[in-house]
Amino acid sequence: MKDNFTKKDLIIEMEKRHREHRMHHQKNYGHHRKHNMHHREFHKEMVDRKLNELFFLHKYMKIFRKITLIVSIVIILFLLKVIGFKMATWIIILVLIINEGTIVYMISRMEKRFVKPMEKLQSGVRKIADGDYTVRLEADTKNEIGILTREFNKMASKLEEGEKIKMEYEENRKALLANVSHDLKTPITCINGYVEGLLENVVSKDNVDNYLKVIKSNAEYMNRLIDDLFLFSKLDMQKLDFKFEKTNIKLYLNDIVEEFSFILDEKEIKFSYEESIDTETFVNIDGKRLYRSIRNILDNAIKYGLGKENLKIEMMLYKDKDSIFIGIEDNGFGIEKDKVDKIFQRFYRVDKERTKDLNSTGLGLAITKEIVDAHKGEIYVSSEVNIGTNFTIRLPIFKEDKNNGE
């Protein structure tokens, strides 16, 4: 953003970001919806096909029962003619009992093993088609029906998870717009009030400079907020271009340490740096982006540590077999345990009252994490109230690709 930022520029930029978010959301939602519909249609078709086969088999068994009865009558008449009435009667009774018992057993077994489970499966598919992704079925058998039931449960779990992700995305989008609107409205209102005071000549000459400083401070805050929002949105949608280069991490970090040693010395904050790493240790990084991450952490240590007696910031560089670690530790006020896991969320502020005075956008650590993730790294944080906070960035060590002859 340029320094000559205007309200018109703000509106144009916000509309642009909103359009990009909406297009991204619609694209993802369309893909997600198409994927879910494909799953539902596929399983519904499979269940209907299997159920039709079983209903046909069930119908066939009833026809078979009638045929068997006719055959039994023919056999009875034949026996009556050949061996006489008395002997034939007992044989007939025995044959009928065996015949009916076999048929009843076969039909009941088929209904228990196939028809009833398939009816439950069909009912489950209908519920999913109606949008109920919480339905689950018991898979009691190891036959095709059991396999189909287990696959159905897997599908339902994936659909439920996808629905939760979609709802979470929508909630985050709404929260983002609400936060941006709130965070921009406050400084704009402040600027308008001070400008009106200047235009109406109700401000004494002694206070004009103070009014202008407040206006400038709020304009810079809006500028920084939009810059951070623009950067975070690009990171979130994976549209930010990174220029990764093989970099000597020791030399790279030495430059940052030298810069911040001077800044912290001016603020009378104690600073120390320790490194235990080989001179020829390389990482594949975008130096400009990673600098942004490290600076965000150091800036937070300074801003949120102000007012703490004997504030000290320590920086460390070390490694193991596959990774290098950049540690940044302070003895500031610390973060409460229930808030530590939330600090990487966008617009999350640990202490909202103090943050107002610090002109924090609430996006710094969210941006930091996205940048570290893009480097295939990780960021860890531990903190204790009134003891301090430790951030550790892990990055993979650059390894030459021997297949390319490097």
Give the domain CATH number at 283.
Answer: 3.30.565.10
pLDDT at 294 over 50: yes
Number of neighbours of residue 395 by Cβ within 10 angstroms:
21
Same domain, 275 and 391: yes
In a domain, 350, yes or no: yes
Segment 96-115 mean pLDDT: 65
152 and 32 within one domain: yes
Residue 284 has a pLDDT of 95
> Would the pLDDT of 378 be above 90?
yes
Q: Residue 222's pLDDT band (boundaries 50, 70, 90)?
A: confident
Q: Which residue has the tokens 């061996």?
A: 83
pLDDT at 92: 62
Highest mean pLDDT among 5-9, 20-24, 120-124, 269-273: 269-273
Q: Tell me, what's the pLDDT at 49?
A: 60
- Specify whether the CB–CB gap between 395 and 324 falls below 8 A: yes
Torsion (CA) 337, 342, 344, 349 in degrees, nearest 10: -90
CB 330 within 8 A of CB 300: no
**Which residues span the domain enclosing 346?**
245-400
| Residue 362 Rama label (left phi>0; alpha psi -120 to 50; beta) | left
**Residue 236 counted as domain residue:** no
Of 298, 306, 291, 295, the C-alpha closest to 271 is 298
- Indicate if the pLDDT at residue 273 is higher than 50: yes
User: Once rounded to an integer, what is the mean pLDDT over residues 368-384?
Assistant: 92
Give the residue among 381, 4, 7, 13 at the shortest CA–CA distance from 228: 13
Boundary-marking domain end, from 140, 165, 190? 165
Q: Is residue 306 part of a domain?
A: yes
- Mean pLDDT for the stretch of residues 135-164: 78
User: What mean pLDDT comes out for the span 72-78?
Assistant: 66
Final residue of a structural domain among 165, 180, 195: 165
Specify the pTM. Answer: 0.56
Instruction: Judge if 265 and 371 occupy the same domain.
Output: yes
The pLDDT, as a whole number, for residue 355 is: 47
Mean predicted lDDT score pLDDT of the chain: 76
Least confident stretch, 126-140, 248-262, 271-285: 126-140
Asked if residues 365 and 386 have their Cβ atoms less than 8 Å apart, the reply is no
Pair of tokens at residue 51: 């159920």
- 147: three-class secondary structure by DSSP: helix
Kindly write down the DSSP assignment for every residue of 305-319, as one continuous string.
TTT-TT-EEEEEEEE
Using a pLDDT cut of 70, give the percent of the chain over it.
Answer: 63
Q: Same domain for 137 and 35?
A: yes
Q: What is the per-residue pLDDT for 47? A: 55
Can you give the pLDDT at residue 148? 76
Question: Same structural domain for residues 161 and 249?
Answer: no
The string of pLDDT tens digits covering residues 185-210 is 878 888 888 898 888 888 888 888 88
The predicted pLDDT at position 23 comes to: 59
Q: Report the Cα 114 to chain-centroid distance in Å.
A: 39
pLDDT over 90, % of the chain: 20
Is there a single domain that holds both residue 160 and residue 264? no
For the beta carbon of residue 60, count every other beta carbon within 10 angstroms.
Answer: 10
153/257 same-domain check = no
260 within some domain: yes
How far apart (Å, rounded) are the C-alpha atoms in residues 285 and 283? 6
Q: Residues 47-60: pLDDT tens digits?
A: 556 556 555 555 65
Residue 380's φ and ψ, nearest 5 degrees, are -120, 150
The reply to whether 252 and 151 lie within a common domain is: no
Q: Yes or no: say if 149 and 139 are a contact pair by the CB < 8 Å rule.
A: yes
Most confident range (mean pLDDT) of 132-146, 230-244, 346-360 is 230-244
Quick one: 157 and 264 in the same domain?
no
Token look-up 């400084």 returns: 187
Task: Say whether both 50 and 151 belong to one domain.
Answer: yes
Question: Do the domain assignments include residue 131?
Answer: yes
Q: Is residue 272 part of a domain?
A: yes
Residues 136 and 283 in one domain: no
258 assigned to some structural domain: yes
- Which of 129, 145, 165 terminates a domain? The answer is 165
How much is the pLDDT for 46? 56
**pLDDT value at residue 218:** 83
- In this prediction, residues 275-304 reach a mean pLDDT of 90
What is the total count of domains within the chain?
2
Bridge-based pairing state of the strands 312-319 and 323-330: antiparallel
One domain, residues 34 and 159: yes
Instruction: Please check whether residue 381 lies inside any domain of the structure.
Output: yes
Residue 27 has a pLDDT of 53
Rounded-to-integer distance, Cα 133 and Cα 126, Å:
11
